[in-house]
Structure 1
Amino acid sequence: MQYMNEFLTIALVHLVAVASPGPDFAIVVRNSIAYGRRIAIFTSVGIGLAILLHVAYSLVGLSVVIATTPWLFTTFSYLAAAYLLYLAFGALRSGPPKGDAVIESTQPQKGISAKKALWMGFLTNGLNPKATLFFLSLFTAIIDINTPFSVKLGYGIYLALATGLWFCFLSYMLSTSKVAELIGRKGYWLDRAMGVLLVGLAAKLVLG
């Protein structure tokens, strides 16, 4: 129980961070609308797994190296921006259904595997330098240096599970019948909006 206050602080900070619109939010919304609940959930799982990556290098101190080495941090930023632009391109190409497809416009598209969705979520979060900064601040400013490694690892597992569950919940809510009906035939506008958001996030990464 001696680490309960530390854990509650971490949980609160993480809640604010994960609920804020960002690349993870945009890609989960986009995949939920475009491909349906199953693909969005696999994307969410990928995001949760990427959190373990951040936790791993934070525990060994690599996050400090990345954040304090300008060229390395810049490289991460440009890689992340390029990947977000790639995702944005696909989202911005979304258009209204044609011909007989209008009838089935509320059904998710096909053409993306669960494995690809998993990697999409993993890369979106894993390449995000903002996540590096978040975990750097978490493991240096909030978590006490004397906190045992096993406790820090427990924090990391919680963060990964909480992140994955949050986005799985978001995926579920976005793909319920009422929400799907609300989006209806104009769902491609939301897809395009997510594309614009991804472009904006990519620009923010590059321009600071």
Structure 2
Amino acid sequence: MSLLHRASFTVSAARLDQLPPSSVPEVCFVGRSNSGKSSAINVLTNQRRLAFSSKTPGRTRLINLFGLPDPLNLDDPEARLGYLVDLPGYGYAAVAKQAREEWADVLGGYLRQREALVGVVLLIDIRRGVTDLDRRLVDWITPTKRPVLALLTKADKLPYGQRMRTIFSVRKDLADIGALFTVPFSATERIGLEEAGEIIANWISPKVVP
């Protein structure tokens, strides 16, 4: 069983000061509204509704943490090997400007300040490529020198040749990220599932073999 399959909901937070102490590794998931973030988390953890999106895209503003139990300390249900962190989606036009700015402050603050963060999963709709909003997010991430896994979601929507060209284009657009992994991904067709899962699990615990 993959380490990620053991994930369970732990806590939600509206502000950074509501998060638990930075004591174990965290891998965060972030992407535009409608980029397929919730679907990716669910398929990677082999669960149907661990993560879910609002019926109104862009309305979910909580940071959700999913704990991964420590296999060496199963007697303690509170012991965590790490967390998967679902950050709010960004860039939805229907959200008021002030709310978007507050939202951006939370996202940027987490990415810049969270000491436990060991890797970032950036979800990009493969049909859109890297947007201006994605670029803004990358500008927050790059100075931290944390590794990034760019999951190019909805990869099944493009023919193979176009998919490969888009991967090359995204790698070029994100070249300033030092440690970058680029994986075409589809939650429905399970494209890239194993590769992405292994990268994330190794960020949490290099000693764990999925």
Instruction: Give the TM-score of the pair, scaled to structure 1.
Output: 0.24
* Bigger-Rg structure (1/2): 1
Output the TM-score relative to the length of structure 2. Answer: 0.24
Looking at secondary structure, tell me which structure has more helix per residue.
Answer: 1
